[in-house]
Structure 1
């Protein structure tokens, strides 16, 4: 067995939900001595999946940092926190970190209002969410580690989130 094998198991994920985050104004704090930082305020949204659906409450946010990789692409990190409320009333605290990779031509397209959509295969938004709830109906979420792949929208982002099983 090599160092990358784990017995007869492979990393497997199953669909958890698709979360559409609506983001209000983004505050650009500019470049400090360490990084360029931006803060995006979550104004709402919705998540839907086979075992989990509801609304993303306003008030959370994403504290992101950015830099430039050796290939000239914008690279960055996510540091997000928000509250989800299921359709049956459970409250779920969601946090996630993540990474972005956006080549220069895609960054230019993102800033061009004439190009509302950029093919998701041309950039990467990846997250690793974790969940916390006191609601016994959703206690199983407290043990979930998930991964997500994101897509930039004109007013936010949509993440396709998978539970690592």
Structure 2
């Protein structure tokens, strides 16, 4: 006489047979390449321009915005690590299929200098229109031992032009101006040859980030 547990076990095996057969058919099916993400007509990731001025031109500007340079950052990345095909890595605003790990670097500016701590990275998202959404998160360490978190977000265009909005997290009073100011930044890749940069090996790639404080 078959026990209840044996009957249940055989029933589970029987129920699994169709699933196993389906899995075998799926493995034997031909691999279909991913469909490229749609790109709107005329979109090529170029830097946009503002519409023409209204009648009468620019109105009086009562509080003019200024910029002052505060630091240059030279972060270095290893070769990108690919997460999968673009089709597999679709994000809410495009696709994310590569990560650029940060392996080190240096920075220097107004009353501040130090190194880029290995770790963190740049996690770009490529939108369907070709514009790159920059999203980099890593740490700096000043020459007096203070660690600073930098979160650099912005947009990149096909002309290799990047416009960024870095924010800084740092405790204490000495570097409070970093967390209490508004910054914009540019990214130049590769690093201009006139700038002396550390050597992280043939497979490393660096970029120059120039940070400006809004006044």
1:164 Cα deviation from its structure 2 partner: 1.1
Contact 1:147–1:164 (CA under 8 A) maintained in structure 2: yes
Contact 2:127–2:133 (CA under 8 A) maintained in structure 1: no
Q: Partner of 1:11 in structure 2?
A: 65
What are the within-5 Å matches in structure 2 for residues 36-47 of structure 1? 36-37=95-96, 38-47=98-107
Query: Between Structure 1 and Structure 2, which shows a larger proportion of strand residues?
Result: 1
Partner SS state of residue 9, structure 1: coil
Q: Partner of 1:85 in structure 2?
A: 141
Partner SS state of residue 124, structure 2: strand
Q: Partner of 1:132 in structure 2?
A: 169
What are the within-5 Å matches in structure 2 for residues 153-164 of structure 1? 153=190, 155-164=205-214
Partner SS state of residue 136, structure 1: coil
Q: In 2, distance between residues paired with 1:19 and 1:86?
A: 12
TM-score, structure 1 length as denominator? 0.76
Kindly report the root-mean-square deviation, in angstroms, between the aligned alpha carbons of the 2 structures.
Answer: 2.1
Q: Partner of 2:76 in structure 1?
A: 22
Q: Partner of 1:97 in structure 2?
A: 153
Query: How many residue pairs get matched?
Result: 140
Structure 1, unaligned stretches of length 5 or more? Answer: 103-121
TM-score, structure 2 length as denominator? 0.60
Q: In 2, distance between residues paired with 1:150 and 1:88?
A: 26
